[in-house]
């Protein structure tokens, strides 16, 4: 019986045979000292300048890492098996690779580079592995969490631009764990989304809903990423927080979260998500008129925040400026290609 992918192999072979072999750089006598330049050379036919630059820098840093650490064959195979296991742990509701990126600090780094924020705008943070696209549309004042053990919390927020004007009809995703520190998708018996919602800001840029007070919780540590944390003698805990994601045409995509101040894990978040500007104080509704306005009882916990979105134009200008400044600091002559730096060889 023929292999199940024989047609795919035939198609690939046909494509390979049509490649212009006469333009492929020649390699010979490969050594520890010249393997890097040879790999870069054979990748140099790439017609996309950004992909070519990324491949060049990736190969350079990977090879330098191997040489610097004197990487052994066993260590490299262990790493490959670790990455294989990481992929195998992923499913529709759990993204182990995002978790790996998070615990290495790479998620926050990339978000900070790709979504620079001018002063006074809301900073971004990590998406995390438990965002889904199944949250229901809800109205202002709706209860987004059905956890009977959770402490009720009224959440009142505004969305404005950097000029202080309301951002109307912004799509807002929010999600949080239950009072036991688990997201809805971590329960096998769940019957639908819980602790997550999609809302829209009103004409004043306001939105509000009823949730529960966030609690600290461990990231999933029963897989490869958990084993890595154990090896590094690190805990898997995240401080109490609530996730938010904002989308509206004309504005830079914002993924962020609000963290409760003075949480025991505020300064040792397993995924490096906490920023000072995202720390909030949990308050209490004490005014009867306010309680009546929002349909809650006096004494309920209160979380408030004023989000500030950045326009696409502002973000693009700042991203390009910071990119060229960073490249110049590295002594590199660069230009922007689709808003991203590539070598300026003209």
- What 3 state SS string does the chain have? CCCCCHHHHHHHHHHHHCCCHHHCCCCCCCCCCCHHHHHHHHCCCCCCHHHHHHHHHHHHHHHHHHHHHCCCHHHHHHHHHHHHHHHHCCCCCCCHHHHHHHHCCHHHHHHHHHCCCCCCCCCCCCCCCCCCCCCCECCCCCECCCCCCCCEEEEEEEEEECCCCECCCCEEEEECCCCCCCCHHHCCCCCCCCCEEEEECCCCCEEEEEEECCCCEECCCCCHHHHHHHHCCCCCEECCEEEEEEECCCECCEEEEEEECCCCCCCCCCCCCCCHHHEECCEECCCHHHHHHHCCCCCCEEEEEEEEECEHHHHHHHHHHHHHHHHHHCCCCEEEECCEEEECCC
Q: How many residues does the chain have?
A: 346
What's the pLDDT at 247? Answer: 98
Dig out the tokens for 113 from the structure. Answer: 């580079």
What's the pLDDT at 1? Answer: 47
Q: At what angle do helices 73-88 and 96-103 cross, to 10 degrees?
A: 130
Residues of the chain with pLDDT under 70: 1-23, 346
What's the pLDDT at 190? Answer: 85
Distance CA 235, CA 223 (A): 14
What's the pLDDT at 92? Answer: 84
What's the pLDDT at 14? Answer: 54
What's the pLDDT at 277? Answer: 97
């Amino acid at each position: 019986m023929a292999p199940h992918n024989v047609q795919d192999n035939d198609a690939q072979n046909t494509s390979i045979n049509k490649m212009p072999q006469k333009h492929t750089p020649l390699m010979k006598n490969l050594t520890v000292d010249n393997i890097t330049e040879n790999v870069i050379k054979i990748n140099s036919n790439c017609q996309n300048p950004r992909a070519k630059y990324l491949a060049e820098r990736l190969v350079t840093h990977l090879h330098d890492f191997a040489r610097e650490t004197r990487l052994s064959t066993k260590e490299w195979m262990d790493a490959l098996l670790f990455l294989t296991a990481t992929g195998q742990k992923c499913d529709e509701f759990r993204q182990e690779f995002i978790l790996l990126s998070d615990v290495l600090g790479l998620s926050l780094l990339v978000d900070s580079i790709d979504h620079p924020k001018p002063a006074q705008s809301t900073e971004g943070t990590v998406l995390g592995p438990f965002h889904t696209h199944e949250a229901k549309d809800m109205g202002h004042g709706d209860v987004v969490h059905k956890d009977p053990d959770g402490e009720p919390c009224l959440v009142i927020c505004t969305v404005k631009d950097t000029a202080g004007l309301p951002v109307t009809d912004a799509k807002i995703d929010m999600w949080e764990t239950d009072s036991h520190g688990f997201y809805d998708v971590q329960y096998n018996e769940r019957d639908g989304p819980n602790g997550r919602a999609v809302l829209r800001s009103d004409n004043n840029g306001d939105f509000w809903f009823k949730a529960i007070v966030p609690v600290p919780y461990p990231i999933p540590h029963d897989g490869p990423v958990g084993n890595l944390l154990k090896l590094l003698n690190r805990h898997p805990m995240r401080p109490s927080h609530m996730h938010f994601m904002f989308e509206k045409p004309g504005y830079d995509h914002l993924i962020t979260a609000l963290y409760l101040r003075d949480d025991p894990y505020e300064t040792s978040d397993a995924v490096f998500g906490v920023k000072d500007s995202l720390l909030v104080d949990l308050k209490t509704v004490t005014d009867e008129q306010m309680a009546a306005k929002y349909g809650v009882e006096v004494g309920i916990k209160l979380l408030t925040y004023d989000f500030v979105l950045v326009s696409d134009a502002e973000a693009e200008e700042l991203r390009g400026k910071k990119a060229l400044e960073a490249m110049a600091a590295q002594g590199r002559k660069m230009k922007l290609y689709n808003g991203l730096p590539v070598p300026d060889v003209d």
